[in-house]
Structure 1
């Protein structure tokens, strides 16, 4: 059975790629073929080969199936700003249909475990009134929510979960990524999240000195996802 998920975050810089790489590593460790994609990325670096995004490169590194960069990250923009603003400055319209067609090609590779990583939070704008959540809806992918654990994370997580459900998509699971180890009442906050989010917790990732995919994977529980 092929498993494919949309990786969303409660905000920007909450560790979506760190968790995605960990999930890909964990899946590969089970002998599954894996593939990660980042349809839209801003904050890219201009190289001799073209614009490259560190998140997309990390997904490529930890995918067992290898695709050309342009297929993994079809829309790459240099400014480290909101993707819709970067696209507007580049004269590009981020259309849901175009993004969905590109990601359909990724999903068609038939990897056992595929991740499509969003940008920022659930309602990151594209063009017009469309948002990146519309891409997840077009692809009909269940969602893995990365919760950046810091002050305010419970509200952000619950609102994100409510929006995902309202959009008609399944919240397949969530990962608590502790981005602020000084969070007051950390364990109590984690317990509150577990009590209020109906989906299974796929892991609690502490603040790691070296957040490699292998290190992150040790804190993830893939069984809770694949058996769901």
Structure 2
């Protein structure tokens, strides 16, 4: 996809890949210098917002990658296929970064002791957050904006223009949910690199939401409310 928006997504994916390489290079340097245990002692705890965001957003991103591969095989539209590739590539790279951080911190990638979004359940005053964090929706979705089992089945059965509309509508909701989560990390996380990545997600996904709204309009459809 050409134009400023396409270049932004491509550059973001490239920058993410570079940061990922630097992250693991830095981790290797710390380990080789004998500072691995010191690094872990300064790492976030398993119940921290840093760890919770990394675990939950890795799952959130994985579904975006899955949906993008589904629509790639359900349409021949070059514009939508390029968008799906950009989203899959970017979010797969970011997912790798977050799982890498959990490894670096010596923390599990899956926590049986906490429900999804538990790290966003309380605000600074200890009150419960506004939406149903930590609770699974009746439609089977786990986190804000995630597609339900029914949604994924419908996308997998659609084809052509209908598949494009289904994908764009689902991905807009998915991005909006991801933005909410990323904003939560910007507010609550303590690791500067992770907060920077989260802010990058907010900026990039807002831009892509605008693009997807335009693509829906071209197809005589609109985002779901």
TM-score (norm 1): 0.30
- Which has the larger strand fraction? 1
The structure with more radius of gyration: 2
TM-score (norm 2): 0.30
- Which has the larger helix fraction? 2
